[in-house]
Every structure is written in structure tokens, then in C-alpha cells.
Structure 1
């Protein structure tokens, strides 16, 4: 178990992290999600031991590995790390990379030459690289190099695997394939994985729990389904899933959008959003109805065909809302007037379907 208590990191007067408190159970796959500059990589570097916190403490199990006065070195922590740049050595073959990790990781058990060979084969088979064991990095594709970096990190069987945007350099199709690989490896190994990304699709698809950060602080830490369906803050609502934040007034368990007489029921909106008089609506939660129907009156500004669905931008007064509809639904042309109603009948099904597709 990892515990972060009051963790802070300052660079001069700039706070990269501020009062971060978090507990990570053993074996959890935690994705740290946020925009550039939110502090997620700083948090990972503190966990790795590459820097010392300005305040607070980090505990691995019963051992305090870092505080404002002391930080144990990376080699003294039972961790593995996968970098964004892969960090492979050009003069080493694939199997040499794995052998190096087995010989030099402080916490790996001592193995004979034969046992090392068995472990190398086992790990390369796990990542699908056994047939490439004699190749050098220059002879490998980007996805193959990433698999080697992953194999090198997991070979010593670390308790904690730290991953810093490891898929960002790969193309879209390969990223989706590698998501599945990493998720399957996590199931087989049972190690704690802390995975930094700015890609919400990766975080929702892979993690047991998603930690959303902004400006060095934790906005929300919950299961992917909760993050998506029940965002606690305006930032989480708009960053994860691109929710539309409709302004209006809350009256008990009902919401009245500004400038209208319609009422929307409370579908689990957080207190923080209610205090700001906001109602979040995901693009797929809108119902697009004829202009004469009850709802927010707007004009279709953009209509885009996207294969299985259509994406729309609907302008209501001076506010633009994003909407998406299944391809089987009625198509709306640009310039047409529509009524927007929140809380589609199949909202629960739709959000679950989105999460399944991401996985």
C-alpha cells in the first residue's frame, strides 16, 4: 500500500503539487489523468524517487521513503518504470535488456544463469516478443520497442510499476492494442500500477481507479464509471467526457435552465455543481426534438457524420452545446431549429456503452 500525506512540491513560488493526500491499495491500477502542467508527472517522479517533496511524506507499506528532509534513491525502492521515450540502449539486444534488469535490480531474487534464461523467455512470451529476442532496438517498430521497455520493467517482479505516458508516441491503432496488453499483464502480475496520461480514453479503459488532477491538486479520485457518470467538479465534467455545463437555477431536486420554464430532475449531480448552479449533460445524453417540442430552443450550427453516430453543435442563444446521436436517429441538417431536452431515456445504457467501447 502506498500513502501520500500532505504531499507538496514547489519550484520557487510555483506550487507543482499542493496538499495531495492519497492511499493506493496493493495491486490497484491507478491512472493519473490531467492536462499538461497539472502535476501528474511531478507526482510520478516523487514516487520514483527522482526528486524530494517540499512538504508531506510518502510511505510504501510501513516504510517512509520520502519527506521534506529525506528521499530514498530510486534503486532503493522496489519499483519498475516505463518511460514515454522507451529509453532502450541501441547496443543491447532485446534479451540483453531483460537480462540487465534481472542482474541489476536490487530487489529481484538472485537467479542462476539458467533461471535468468527461463525468466527472459517467460517475460518475452508475456509481451509477445520472444521471437525478436536477438534483435536490436533499431530493427524494431515503435510498438515492439514499447513492449521491450515494458518487459524490462516487469522482469524483476517489482511491487510497483510506474508508467509515464508510455503510449503517447504510438499511433492510434497501436495505442488501443497496447492498452489491452498492459491491462492483461496487470491481471497476470498483480503489481500496483500507477499510470500517468493526458488521454481520458486510456484512463477510463484501463484503470481500476482514475485520479483527475488540475493545477497540482486532486479534483476527484473514483472508479472510471463514477468519474464519467458522476463528476464532482466543473473541471472533471468538462475534461472527462466533454460534458455541457448548462447554467440555470437549482430548486431542490429540480433544475431550471436559464431563460426557460422547463424542469430537469436531479440525476445525481454533485453538490459542488449545484452550488455553482450548473447541470452537466454529456453529448450523448441530449434528446434532439422538433423545434415546437418542450426544451431549449437552438439552431444546428454543425452536423458531422461519424460512422456509428452524428455529432452536432447546437447554438442556444449565445451558448454552443455538443450533442451526439446514434446513426439510426433522425438526422438534423445545419440551419435547422431544434429543442434540446436533457436526460435521455437510455442515459444509463448509453454511458455504459461508451465506457465499454473505450475498453
Structure 2
């Protein structure tokens, strides 16, 4: 188990992390999600032991590993790490990369040290590289290089696997394949994975728990479903799933859009914090769209993007721009068309008064 207690990190006058409190359990896949500069990589470096916190403490399995006055270095922690840039040595073969941590990781099991060839073969088979053991990095594709980096990290079977945007250098198809591989390896190794990413799709697809960060602070912690369907802050709502943040007023459990004071909407499970800020988050897929004769909010189509299974629209309603996702089987609209918008789910339909 990893526990962070009031962990902060400053670089001179700049505070990269503000009093972070977080617990990650054994076998749990935790995604640290946020935009560039939010502090997620700083958090990972602290967990790895590359630097000490300015204040607060980090414990692993009940032992203090980092504080302002104490730092257990990376080589003395039972961790593995996968970097964004692969970080492979050009003069070493695939086999050499995997055997290296077995020889030097202090937590490698004695039986594996006695028969490192068998362990390397097992790990390479696990990541689908058993036929490429004698290749050098220059002879591998991007996806194969990432598999080598992953195999190297899991070879000594660390308790904690830290991953710093490991798929960002791959193309879309390879990223999808590697998501599946990482999930499978997580099930087999049962390691605690801490996965840093700015890609909400990766976090939603793979993680057991998502930690959403912004400006060095934790905005929300929860399961992928909770983060997506029950955002607690305006940042989480707009960053994860691109909610349309409709401005207005909450009174007696009903919402009145600011631009349409003659309408009220029922509470669809909006967090109290968002109600206090005067927001009602609506996902792009929650809107139903009809022509201008339909009931609902009237708007003008600004842009249309065909996305295969969906068509993405940007609709200008009064002075606000909202994103709407519709099935390809729905009626198509063109830029300049006037349309009507209503919340799609029956229990979330606007009430006209």
C-alpha cells in the first residue's frame, strides 16, 4: 500500500504539488490524470524516489520512504518504471534488457537469480517478444520497444509499477493494443500500478481508480464511472468527457438555465459543489437534437465533424457554444442550420413551464 500524507513539492517559489493526500492499495490500477503542468509527473517522481517532498510524508507498506528529512532511493524500493521515451540502451539486445534488472534489482527472487534464462523467457512470452530476444532496439518497431520497456520493468516482479505516459509515443492503433496488454499484465502480476496520463480515454479504459489533478491539486478521486458520470468540480466535468457546463441557477432541486429563464430542469445527480457554482453539466451524448420546429433550446450549428460511428456538432445557443454527439443514424444537419436541443434521457428531459 502507498500512502501520501500532505505531500507538497516546491521548485523555488513555484508550488508543483499542494498538500496531496492519497492512498493506493495492493493490486490496484490507479491512473493519475490531468493536463500538462498539473503536477502528475512530479507526483510520480516522488513515488519513484527521484526527489524528496518539500513537506509531508510518503509511506510504502507502512515504512516511511520519503519526507523533507529522509529519502529512500529508487534502487532500495521494490518498484519498476516504464518511461514515455522507452529508455532502451542501443547496445543491448532484448534479452540483455530483461536480464539486467534480474541481476541488479535487490528484490529479485533467489530462484530467478539461479535460473535467469527461464525467467527472461517467461517474461518475454508474457509480452509476446519470445521470438525477438536477440534483436537490438534499432531493429524493433515502436510497439515492440514499448513491450521491451514493459518487460524490463516487470521482470523482477515489483510490488509497484510506475508508468509515465508510456503510450503517448505510439500511434492510435498501437495504443489500443497496448492498453489490452497492460491490463492483461496487471491481472497476471497483481502489481500496484500508478499510471500517469493526460489521455482520459486511457484512464477510463484501464484504471480501477482515477485521480484527476489540476494546478498541483487533486480535484477528484473515484472509479472511472464515478469520475465520468458524477463530476464534483467544473474542471473534472469539462476535462473528462467534455461536459457542456450550462450556466444558471439551482432552486429547490431544479435548474434554470441563465439564457432560458422560462425553463427548469430536474436534478440529474449533479454534485453540490457544482450547484453552488451555478452549473448543470450535460454530456455531449445526453443531448437529443431535432430541427427548429422541435421543443427545446434553439441554437445554430457552427460545425459538423463526421467521426465514423458518431457525428460531432458544435451548437451556438445564445452566446454559448455546446458540443453535441449524435448517432450516424440520426438526421444530419449542416453548418448554419437552426436546431432544437433537449436532454436525451427520459428522466432528464427539460420541463417547460
TM-score after normalising by structure 2: 0.96
1:65 Cα deviation after fit = 0.4
Contact 2:112 2:119 in 1 (8 A): no
Structure 1's 112 and 332: CA in aligned 2 closer, same or farther, altered over 3 A?
closer
- Counterpart of 1:306 in structure 2 is 307
Say which is worse superposed, 223-232 or 281-290, in terms of deviation.
Answer: 281-290
- Counterpart of 2:330 in structure 1 is 329
Q: For 2:263, what is the secondary structure of its paired residue?
A: coil
Distance in 1 of aligned mates of 2:327 and 2:88: 44
Structure 1's 119 and 293: CA in aligned 2 closer, same or farther, altered over 3 A?
same
Distance in 1 of aligned mates of 2:268 and 2:314: 23
Distance in 2 of aligned mates of 1:165 and 1:305: 28
Consecutive aligned runs of 4 or more in structure 1 exceeding 6 Å deviation: none
- Count of residue correspondences: 347
Distance in 2 of aligned mates of 1:288 and 1:2: 47
- Counterpart of 1:352 in structure 2 is none
1:114 Cα deviation after fit = 5.8
Distance in 2 of aligned mates of 1:145 and 1:12: 37
Contact 1:262 1:295 in 2 (8 A): no
1:344 Cα deviation after fit = 2.9
Per-residue CA distance 1:118-155 (angstroms, 9 max, x = gap): 11010000000000001111111111011001000000
- Counterpart of 2:151 in structure 1 is 151
Q: For 1:211, what is the secondary structure of its paired residue?
A: strand
1:317 Cα deviation after fit = 1.2
Say which is worse superposed, 306-315 or 181-190, in terms of deviation.
Answer: 306-315
Distance in 1 of aligned mates of 2:113 and 2:169: 35
Contact 1:10 1:54 in 2 (8 A): yes
> Is 1:192 the counterpart of 2:192 in the alignment?
yes
- Counterpart of 2:181 in structure 1 is 181
- Counterpart of 1:351 in structure 2 is none
- Counterpart of 2:284 in structure 1 is 283
- Counterpart of 2:93 in structure 1 is 93
Contact 1:32 1:211 in 2 (8 A): yes
1:346 Cα deviation after fit = 9.2
Segments of structure 1 that go 5 or more residues without pairing to the other structure are 348-359
Contact 2:254 2:267 in 1 (8 A): yes
Segments of structure 2 that go 5 or more residues without pairing to the other structure are 349-353
TM-score after normalising by structure 1: 0.94
Q: For 2:183, what is the secondary structure of its paired residue?
A: helix
